[in-house]
Amino acid sequence: METQALKELEHRYRQVSSQIRSLTPNSQKVELLVVTKGHGADALRHLYALGQNSFGENYAQELLAKSQELQDLSISWIFIGHLQSNKIRKIVQVASAIQTVGTLRQAEQIARAANECGKTPFPIWLEVNADQEGAKHGCPMNEVLDLAHAIQKLPELGLQGLMAIPPSRYQDTECLEIPDLYTQLRHLADRIGDQQLSLGMSGDLRLAIQAGSNLVRIGTAILGPRQV
């Protein structure tokens, strides 16, 4: 990356980090996960130098390639994309956690892979299809507790909580009130595993933090448009 591009990247990163701090109450801790889909290793290396070590990837092949290229850095890779059965073992080998578990079968496959790789208990989040949107993956909200109960019987896994991608109508909104859906997700997360809630992206950062999110996933607001 050119010097000017790196300066702009640093400015956006510090701006978003500052925004998160200003929105976060003293009683709450919010972690920033930088979503790096479609961006090259140079940008990640620069963000790492600024103190960011958690990066979210959506595609297994991209995750594997970047983890190889940046293997000299102590990066925590978080998988946040749709899980394909034939890629689960490779993802577990590289990732520190998976946030998109929507079925018991997926959980069982991760458990087996984690056991084989010596990475137990492996941290997972349950992905919730919060508004039952047909184009999205994840477990319906009314089935989450049953799924969590079943997964807790797998000692190879460490159930962290819930991850959700809210409907697009909550992105870039001027809404001042916290949506009921966000409040419901927070209350549901309080009953799951370690009670963590991964909620909030570039467009709904404020709403998610005010609703009690513990982790926000930010891509475009930091890295800009995808390169590939």
Write down the mean pLDDT value for the chain: 94
- pTM for the model stands at 0.94
* Domain residue ranges of the chain, discontinuous segments joined by +: 3-223
Going by the DSSP 8-state scheme, the letter that residue 103 receives in this structure is S
Q: What percent of the chain has pLDDT over 90?
A: 85
Whole-angstrom distance, CA of residue 86 vs CA of residue 31: 30
- What pLDDT was estimated at residue 1? 73
Number of CB atoms found within 10 A of residue 45's CB = 16
- What pLDDT was estimated at residue 169? 82
pLDDT 10s digits, 38-59 = 999 999 999 999 999 999 999 9
Residue 134 scores a pLDDT above 70: no
**pLDDT tier, 226 (very low <50, low <70, confident <90, very high otherwise):** confident
What CATH number is given for 3-223 in this structure? 3.20.20.10
Residue 218: exposure state from Cβ atoms within 10 A (0-12, 13-18, ≥19):
buried
What string of DSSP letters covers 176-218?
-SPPHHHHHHHHHHTTSTT-EEE---TTTHHHHHHHT-SEEEE
pLDDT 10s digits, 150-208 = 999 999 999 999 999 888 887 766 777 899 999 999 999 999 999 999 999 988 999 99
**pLDDT tier, 93 (very low <50, low <70, confident <90, very high otherwise):** very high
Is the Cβ–Cβ distance between 15 and 32 less than 8 Å?
no
